[in-house]
A and B are shown apart, each in its own frame.
Chain A
Amino acid sequence: MTDLHDVDGADSAESGIWASDALIDALGAGASVDDDRAAALLSALVSDVSAEPLPGLPDLAPPRRTRRLAPRTGIAAGAVMAVLSTGGVAAASVSAGPTSALFPLHRVLTGQSQLDGSQRQALEVKDKLASAAKALAAGKYARAQKDVQSAADRLPKVAVTDGHHDLAAQWTALNRQVKAKVTTTPATSSPGKVTASPTSPRTSAPARSTSPAPSQASTVPGGGTTTPVTTSPSASQVAGGAPGTGLTSPTPVTPTPVPSQTPTVSPSPSDPAGTSSPTPTPSGKHHRPGGGKGGSVAPGSPPAASLAPPSTAPVTVPPVQSPAASSAPVTVPPAPSVAPSPSAS
């Protein structure tokens, strides 16, 4: 300490500067000074600020972490909300069929890039039905009939899991409308002309093959002019349903008047003219009652089909049948080819 006083008391300015520098260095190092008031106060100041323990080191973790939490939390919350909100749609789309509006999403979620046959047919049927409905609304009945027929061709190939039942129901309803329209419009074909039924793709089967009565209750308007002849229950069952699908064929067919020479399995073989009452079918709903006249051939209008030779000519029905028409509306047995009749062989 005495050295500091010696420096402080130096005369020269330079020595004074160095003395002050030495004193301040000593104070900064924690030296205590008693006889220099100013130096003593500074020494007390240094002692005071050094007395209390130092605070701990701050956390060396990056300080930006807390600022990033908020946006991350927001993003996470948004993602959760997106998952929750779309979860229901995604779950519904997983089971969506080809006719569903969610089917495109279904294909994305399930990774299905190609449609299988049944799905393709389902879409075709859907398109045909829509086209038929549009044509029907536009008065284009021929076009509607064609579309309905086309849909009927494809419908058996649609699997149940691809909306077969829904499409079949739509088809039935639409076909009924088409038939109703067609019957109220002028005939598009000459009476008695044998044409292929637009709704029955399998009407081209030879008439001799069998005469299955369709299990469908639909009949041709103006029916009752022919006698529905049923076949064996097995034949009827097979013929009336789409093969392999369990679908009852919606084809509005009326029983084919069985020619007497046709070797059918008709339960009423003794009625060659088909004038007998309709043979009850196992299902009991093959025929329209016809107001008590069911099964009887209209007077003067022998069943056209009955006159047709048992050839391979398709036995069809003129879609339009006026009550006074002489030609008998004949329905076509649905898909007789798939119902092998025991007698046909």
Chain B
Amino acid sequence: MTAAEDHGRAVLSRAVAGDREAAGELLSQVRPSLVRYCRARLGRAHGSYEAADDVAQEVLLAVLTALPRYRDEGRPFAAFVYGVAAHKVADHHRAAVRRPMPVADLPDSADGALGPEDLAMRAADADTARALVDLLPEPQRELILLRVAAGLSAEETGAVLGMTAGAVRVAQHRALTKLRALAVGGAL
């Protein structure tokens, strides 16, 4: 077990014991990948990831609330977090009705980042990738998003999905091969 893993376990133990500072550190570690996962799963709504970010916040709050009841059974903490996230995303899909979404005010100054065309191209590629992933079977889709969007390791992904790391690697190889075929074949 590495020093980082030891530190992570210690933080987790203190967070479970009620240490709010440790809980904050734990959520800060989880949050970036969780937000990316939610955004990859839910996509943009009215051009914004705000709805996906709200779901990510709900997941974090649910994790925080459930922390006192968390029991470390040797599985990665990410498995617990993404297990909650899967339920929250499913809830969001069930409640997915068209609702008015707030739109941010237009910026007064020029944005130094990508221009509108580049942003549109990137967003279009992201939407295409999401559409391709949606064509995969459910286990493979979840696996690809956890591995690519959330950046989880094979072991962590296997813990979330209840698979071994080897099974994850085999499944992700098949999913990637299928995506290539779909992309080349012009499935979209």
Chain A positions within 8 Å of B, measured between CB atoms, are 16-21, 23-25, 27-29, 36-42, 44-52, 54-55, 57-58, 60, 63
Contact = CB atoms under 8 A, between A and B. Distances in A.
Given A48-B39, A48-B122, 14 more contacts: A17-B170, A18-B169, A19-B173, A20-B177, A28-B147, A37-B180, A38-B176, A44-B125, A45-B148, A49-B36, A49-B126, A54-B32, A57-B28, A60-B27
Interface stretch (B1-9, B53-61, B73-81, B84-92): B53-61
A55 B36 CA distance: 11
A6 to B, nearest CB: 15
Contacts, number: 119
B53 A55 contact: yes
Q: How large is the interface on B (under 10, 10 to 19, 20 to 34, 35 or more residues)?
A: 35 or more
B148 A41 contact: no
Contacts of A25: 147, 153
Contact of A28 (B23, B125, B151, B182): B151
A224 B79 CA distance: 114
Contact of A41 (B56, B57, B147, B183): B183
A16 B32 contact: no
A60 B24 contact: yes
Contacts of B24: 57, 60
Given A38-B180, A42-B129, A57 B172 contact: no
B176 A20 contact: yes
B149 A38 contact: no
B49 A49 contact: yes
Contacts of A19: 173
B12 interface: no
Contact of B180 (A24, A36, A54, A63): A36
Contacts of B123: 48
Contacts of B169: 17-18, 20-21
A332 to B, nearest CB: 88
B148 A50 contact: no
Contacts of B49: 49, 52
A56 B180 CA distance: 36
B85 to A, nearest CB: 14
Closest 6 interchain pairs by CB?
Answer: A44-B125, A48-B126, A41-B129, A49-B39, A28-B151, A20-B173
Interface string B142-164: 00100111111110000000000
B141 interface: no
Interface in B57-115: 57, 60-61, 64-65, 113
24 contacts: A16-B173, A20-B177, A21-B169, A24-B144, A25-B153, A28-B149, A37-B183, A37-B184, A38-B180, A38-B184, A39-B176, A40-B125, A41-B126, A42-B148, A44-B122, A44-B125, A44-B126, A47-B126, A49-B39, A49-B126, A54-B53, A55-B53, A60-B23, A60-B27
